[in-house]
Amino acid sequence: MSDPASRDDPRSNHFVPRFRPGRIREARFRDFAVRFTFGGTISVVAALIGATFTEPIGGIFTAFPAILVASLTLIDKQEDREHASYDAVGAALGAIGFVFCAAFVAGTLGRWSAAASLGVGLLIWVVVSVGLYALYALVASHGRDDEG
């Protein structure tokens, strides 16, 4: 969540993620209810698709980031579309990191212990995701400098 005052400050770096625990009190029950309802509905639909078709097909739908769609809608409504787009990009880059993690774990799980494979896989996920986001922030902030 970002500070609403930072919207008007051109020097503010919009690409640095921020966590402000004090803003949790600002969240309304309705926001949580929307996320819970949407996420639960998507999970039930994915389970029904999985039960109707094969497991790999159902697994693809289970991987759908149900909470992300509801969260982006709320961020767009409460903040603005630009902040929602930052979250969407972060989620997409995190998903790319997850693919690298899954590929690594799939390739090493039979040869390494589960803890070692998952531990290194998690490290790969974090490094790839953060690295891609840093690259995105660098390129995007460079583009902003050219506009101004």
Containing 50, the helix (H) or strand (E) segment is: helix 29-52
Task: Provide mean pLDDT across the span 50-67.
Answer: 66
Give the Cα separation of 106 and 100 in Å (integer).
10
Tokens encoding 51: 């039960």
The pTM of this model reads 0.61
Mean pLDDT calculated for residue range 55-64: 62
- The CA distance from 101 to 118, in Å, is 8
Least confident of 53-62, 93-102, 111-120: 53-62
Most confident of 1-5, 46-50, 69-73, 131-135: 131-135
Chain segment 107-148, per-residue pLDDT in tens: 998 899 999 999 999 999 999 999 999 898 888 777 665 554
